């Protein structure tokens, strides 16, 4: 009985180690400064029509709590007829990724409903939206430059 | 899954209650509660259910070993080995990135398992109780599984002590009175969360960039009220849910903002955690019998660290340790001679500044905010004034409800008017429950703050 318990404990310990190692085998977090990543994302692109929004707009439009994140920047076009916007976020903890992804998916769905029927070009733009979530950074873009911005985002990390 | 989500309130909880109510035997009730607890835990991150099951298995076997081992030296080794693996799990997930950051290395992409600190501390309570002989080892793995994983308390506590709960698993039948008091507590908790905490969260967020002195005080005050209504609301819901299933958990809050000293505050705030550190760390270290200063600093360093892998939490913990020492050696005799209001105001200011460390992303940010709180050159600006006037009623209600006034009125009316008030309060709570649901549906989703710990 005594040795049986030790053997059972050994198996449980081994399984615990495998589980932990599996979690730790994922990608590492970027130590790049938020400002540097943001500049690289915007590099060589004319994004002057998209203006930086305040915390209240982040809450209202994206359903995100800006205080919960290490850093977050939200840019949006000042024209209700267009859906262009982008968000760069640095997570405090990687476990914020799911909530961020859900919020962005809701935002895309809401915007698609909004423009559906009268602005098919904006719906198309929303269909091509980029949501790229890395270890501790994420980018969401609705813009014709979305792919370029995403490439620059990945390079910057 | 979270308690303030529609799926939990209108689907998961009612189905769980019906199953628990109508299943014929205690054995089946416990099986179903355990399976439901795993489902609840797996809702957002299914992978970590494996971690939870392995943790239960590890502690179950460890308990049996501690019970069987007769050699005291071997028993001690078994105990510390069992504790070490629990701490290894906690440390790996919670503190690895923090430690790597200290030495300048990149961290890992690790998602922190929800409730890890809470269920690990429950497991440690079990091991310590068995080792000390306070409780016998649990032979039924289902009971230990329920103790660690019960969905009513796994995500953010309260950290129930094993010796307080060990007799409840074999017999916790449906009891009408307990069930109704559980519903009432759950509704009170939801009201605190949806109507108060989430509203203070919006105020807190809107003031984060404010540079004025008034803005900084309102920023700190809104967080102070947010975290109280958030965590005490969560605790009410957790204890309420537990009562619905026949479990009796001790209160986790006792109006902490009416405290008249820092020591008094910690007897009223997150009581289960304070008790845990007192019984399993402070007293075994020697308590106030020897090395009092060292023991206090160790306990409060660990309390800070438990809350998160950040220097701000460690500083926050040590800050309280320092005030407790200051009270013990200097302030207590002075405060005892002064009117209670002085001690009350002193405590509120200490706690308010403490929350600034707690809510700030870095120590520099914390000192920046504290600096603005005493920056007389910019007393007020338009934004701060706008927030104050726009939310004055919310602040007044929040301050009044964080004290004992409402409870005293409720108690007094029940004494004077008797059963007529039961109906009136039932209607009142139903109305506020409806409003809370409307807020849950309509407002931005806000998770509980203590989920992060």
Q: What is the pLDDT of residue A88?
A: 96
Let me know if residue A24 belongs to a domain.
no
CB pairs under 8 A between A and B: 102
Contact in structure between B331 and B282 (CB atoms under 8 Å)? no
Best residue of A1, A6, A13, A62 to probe chain B, by most B CBs closer than 10 Å: A13
Query: Which pair of tokens denotes residue B125?
Result: 């309570």
Which residues span the domain enclosing A125? 29-156
DSSP secondary structure letter of residue A72: E
Domain count across chain A:
1
A8 CB burial (10 A radius; 0-12, 13-18, 19+): middle
Chain A residue numbers with beta carbons less than 8 Å from the beta carbon of B145 are none
Give the Cα separation of B419 and B423 in Å (integer): 7
Is residue A136 less than 8 Å (CB to CB) from chain B?
Answer: yes
- Distance from chain centroid for Cα B195: 19
Let me know if residue A55 belongs to a domain.
yes
Best residue of B108, B200, B201 to probe chain A, by most A CBs closer than 10 Å: B108
Let me know if residue A8 belongs to a domain.
no
A10 CB burial (10 A radius; 0-12, 13-18, 19+): exposed
Query: Which pair of tokens denotes residue B413?
Result: 């009316």
Q: What is the pLDDT of residue B453?
A: 57
Let me know if residue A17 belongs to a domain.
no
Q: What is the pLDDT of residue B253?
A: 95
A113 CB burial (10 A radius; 0-12, 13-18, 19+): exposed
Let me know if residue A98 belongs to a domain.
yes
Give the Cα separation of B359 and A71 in Å (integer): 15
pLDDT digit string (tens) for chain A, length 157 residues:
678 889 999 999 999 999 999 988 877 788 889 999 999 999 888 888 899 998 888 988 898 888 889 899 999 998 888 999 999 999 987 778 888 998 999 999 999 998 887 888 999 999 999 999 988 899 999 999 999 999 999 999 8
Phi, psi angles (nearest 5°) of residue A28: -90, 165
Residue entry with tokens 């060292």? B294
Length of chain B: 453
Q: What is the pLDDT of residue B440?
A: 85
Q: ipTM score here?
A: 0.84
Let me know if residue A1 belongs to a domain.
no
Phi, psi angles (nearest 5°) of residue A76: -145, 145
Contact in structure between A93 and A68 (CB atoms under 8 Å)? no
Contact in structure between B200 and B178 (CB atoms under 8 Å)? no
pLDDT band for B262, please (50, 70, 90 cuts). Answer: very high
Is residue A65 less than 8 Å (CB to CB) from chain B?
Answer: yes
B418 vs B351, higher pLDDT: B351
Within 10 A of B41 (CB to CB), how many other CB atoms are there?
A: 24
Lowest mean pLDDT among A110-114, B6-10, B140-144, B442-446: B442-446
Q: What is the pLDDT of residue B446?
A: 57
Is residue B404 less than 8 Å (CB to CB) from chain A?
Answer: no
Chain A residue numbers with beta carbons less than 8 Å from the beta carbon of B97 are 29
Closest CA to B221 of B452, B406, B392, B407: B392
B421-436 pLDDT tens trace:
888 888 999 999 999 9
Let me know if residue A2 belongs to a domain.
no
Query: Which pair of tokens denotes residue B83?
Result: 């504790």
pLDDT band for B321, please (50, 70, 90 cuts). Answer: very high
Residues of B with active-site annotation: 307
Looking at CA atoms only, how far is residue A128 from chain B in angstroms? Answer: 26
B158-214 pLDDT tens trace:
999 999 999 998 888 888 899 999 999 999 999 999 999 999 998 998 888 888 999
Q: What is the pLDDT of residue A51?
A: 92
Closest residue on chain A to B64 (Cα) = A5
Within 10 A of B435 (CB to CB), how many other CB atoms are there?
A: 13
Let me know if residue A9 belongs to a domain.
no
């Amino acid at each position: 009985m005594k040795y049986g318990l030790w053997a059972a404990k050994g198996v449980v310990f081994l399984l615990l180690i495998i589980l932990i190692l599996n979690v730790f085998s994922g990608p590492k977090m970027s130590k790049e400064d938020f400002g540097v990543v943001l500049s690289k994302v915007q590099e060589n692109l004319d994004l002057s029509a998209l203006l930086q929004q305040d915390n209240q707009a982040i809450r209202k439009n994206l359903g995100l709590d800006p205080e919960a994140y290490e850093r977050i920047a939200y840019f949006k076009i000042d024209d209700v007829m267009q859906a262009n916007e982008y968000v760069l976020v640095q997570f405090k903890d990687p476990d914020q990724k799911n909530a961020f992804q859900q919020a962005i998916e809701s935002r895309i769905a809401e915007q698609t409903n909004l423009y559906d029927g009268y602005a098919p070009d904006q719906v198309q733009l929303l269909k091509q939206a980029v949501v790229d979530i890395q270890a501790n950074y994420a980018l969401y873009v609705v813009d014709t430059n979305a792919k370029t911005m995403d490439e620059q985002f990945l390079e910057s990390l | 899954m979270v308690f303030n989500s529609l799926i939990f309130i209108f689907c998961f909880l009612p189905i769980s209650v019906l199953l628990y109510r109508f299943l014929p035997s205690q054995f089946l009730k416990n099986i179903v509660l355990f399976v439901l607890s795993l489902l609840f835990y797996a809702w957002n991150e299914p992978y970590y259910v494996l971690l939870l099951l392995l943790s239960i298995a590890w502690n179950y076997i460890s308990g049996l070993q501690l019970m069987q081992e007769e050699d005291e030296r071997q028993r001690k080794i078994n105990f510390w080995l069992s504790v070490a693996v629990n701490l290894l799990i906690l440390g790996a997930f919670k503190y690895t990135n923090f430690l790597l950051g200290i030495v300048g290395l990149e961290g890992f992409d690790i998602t922190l398992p929800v409730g890890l600190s809470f269920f690990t501390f429950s497991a440690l309570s079990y091991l310590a109780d068995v080792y000390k002989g306070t409780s016998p080892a649990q032979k039924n793995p289902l009971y230990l599984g329920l103790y660690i994983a019960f969905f009513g308390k796994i995500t953010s506590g309260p950290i129930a002590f094993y010796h307080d709960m060990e007799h409840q698993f074999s017999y916790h039948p449906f009891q009408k009175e307990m069930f109704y008091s559980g519903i009432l507590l759950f509704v009170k908790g939801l009201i605190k969360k949806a109507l108060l905490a989430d509203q203070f969260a919006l105020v807190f967020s809107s003031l984060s960039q404010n540079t004025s002195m008034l803005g900084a005080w309102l920023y700190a005050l809104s967080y102070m009220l947010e975290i109280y209504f958030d965590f005490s609301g969560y605790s009410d819901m957790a204890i309420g849910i537990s009562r619905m299933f026949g479990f009796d958990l001790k209160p986790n809050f006792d109006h902490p903002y009416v405290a008249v000293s820092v020591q008094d505050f910690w007897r009223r705030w997150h009581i289960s955690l304070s008790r845990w550190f007192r019984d399993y760390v402070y007293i075994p270290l020697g308590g106030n019998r020897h090395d009092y200063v060292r023991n206090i600093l160790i306990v409060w360093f660990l309390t800070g660290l438990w809350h998160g892998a950040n220097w701000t939490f460690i500083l926050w913990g040590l800050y309280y340790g320092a005030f407790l020492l200051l009270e013990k050696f200097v302030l207590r005799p002075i405060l005892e001679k002064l009117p209670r209001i002085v001690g009350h105001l002193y405590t509120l200011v200490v706690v308010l500044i403490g929350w600034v460390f707690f809510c700030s992303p870095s120590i520099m940010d914390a000192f920046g905010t504290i600096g603005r709180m005493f920056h007389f050159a910019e007393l007020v600006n338009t934004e701060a004034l706008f927030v104050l006037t726009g939310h004055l009623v919310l602040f007044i209600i929040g301050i009044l409800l964080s004290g004992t006034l409402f409870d005293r009125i409720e108690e007094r009316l029940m004494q004077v008017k008797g059963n007529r008030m039961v109906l009136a309060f039932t209607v009142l709570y139903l109305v506020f429950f409806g409003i809370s649901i409307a807020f849950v549906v309509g407002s931005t989703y806000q998770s509980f703050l203590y989920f992060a710990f």
